[in-house]
Amino acid sequence: MKIIGKFFALSLVIFLASCAGGGTKTETRDAVENQPVSYDMNYDVDTDKSFIEWEGYKPTGTHNGTVSISSGRLQFDENGLVGGTFTIDLNSIVVLDLTNPELNAQLRNHLISADFFEVETYPTATFEITGVETVDGMNTDLSKEKGNIVPTHAISGNLTMKNVTKNITFHARIQLEGEKIMAQTNQFFIDRILWNVQYGSKTLFAELKDNFINDEMGIAITLAASKSDKELSSK
């Protein structure tokens, strides 16, 4: 019985440790002034096929869901992606892991409240590309990410949320098929408190002990886009 008890205790420690942290936060720095870029083609984001998957971590488990991308445009030249921007509709936050309607609504209402994203005051977030580099996906360090997507590019951009702008860098796989673009990322991690999403942060509130929510928040982006109608009609 002692052996079983020790095994159970060890298993519990491993479980809690695995739930406590999602991953290493992505590179983040102060906002970067975006420089004008020359491009040949615009691609409009297909909002029906574009979304962000989010995941929050705490010692006792995780919560996850989606949020919609409401608009966006990507710029390309003959060598590939050079710029772009998209808008995130924070009113569209969905919780996927809670099947109980009451608990689901409670969590969603908490997320859109002033404790987290304060959606009534800040209904959208934006991302503006400030830099693009091609990468060798098979030889790229993906230790800060979760997933099996092999990237083709490293993307840097200004993420503005709750009136705070920070520049982040993450990897993405960008595929061009005819007049359509598909861009996807593995789950990467941002430090939410840098954007004043402070509720339950152990870093800010040491008295929480084990009742904290991790500062790192997991994000995975799926972005579909098609060549703009204006440019298609000009051919």
Over 80: is that where the pLDDT of 50 sits? yes
Where do runs of H (alpha helix) occur along the chain?
Answer: 2-20, 101-112, 229-233
Residues 19-30: tens digit of each pLDDT: 345 678 999 999
Higher-confidence residue of 216 and 11: namely 216
The model's pTM is 0.86
Report yes or no: 158 and 31 within 8 Å, Cβ to Cβ.
Answer: yes
Report yes or no: 215 and 201 within 8 Å, Cβ to Cβ.
Answer: yes
Q: How far apart are CA 209 and CA 156, in angstroms?
A: 35
Across the chain, what does the average pLDDT equal? 87
**Minimal CA–CA distance to 189: which of 143, 125, 137?**
143
Residues 172-223: tens digit of each pLDDT: 999 988 899 999 999 999 999 999 998 888 776 665 555 578 899 999 999 9
Under CATH, domain 2-233 is a member of which superfamily?
Lipid/polyisoprenoid-binding, YceI-like (2.40.128.110)
State the DSSP code for 78.
T
- In angstroms, the Cα distances linking 79 to 49, 98, 216, 232 are 25, 44, 34, 19
